[in-house]
Amino acid sequence: MAKITLAAVGDISFAGKPEMAIRNNGVAFPFAEVITELQAADIRFGNQESVLIPEDFPLEKASGHPLQSRNFEYKRPHAPL
C-alpha cells in the first residue's frame, strides 16, 4: 500500500504584521520554520484567513470587515511550498 503524507496548517493570515514581514523578507518568510516539513508532504493544506481580491475589485461589492489584503501582491516563491 502506498504511503501518502499530509501537512496541514491553520489560520494563516497575511494581514497586519505578517504582511509587512512578507514585504520585507519575501513571500516564503511566514513558512521559513516549517518549509522542510511542508515540502516533504505529498499534500499540503492551509486555512487562509486573509481575503484575496483583485486590486480593481469594487469595494462596494464587498461586505463585512475591511479587506486587509487588497493591495498585497501574492506571488508563488521560486521553490514550491
Confidence of residue 81 (pLDDT cuts 50, 70, 90): very low
Residue 59 is placed in which grid cell?
469595494
Confidence of residue 65 (pLDDT cuts 50, 70, 90): low
Cα dist. 76→28, 30, 37, 58, 72 in Å? 8, 13, 18, 25, 13
Q: Is 68 helix (H, G, I), strand (E, B) or coil?
A: coil
pLDDT given for residue 6 in this prediction: 95
| Distance from C-alpha of 30 to C-alpha of 12, rounded to nearest angstrom | 9
Q: Is 40 helix (H, G, I), strand (E, B) or coil?
A: helix
Confidence of residue 63 (pLDDT cuts 50, 70, 90): low
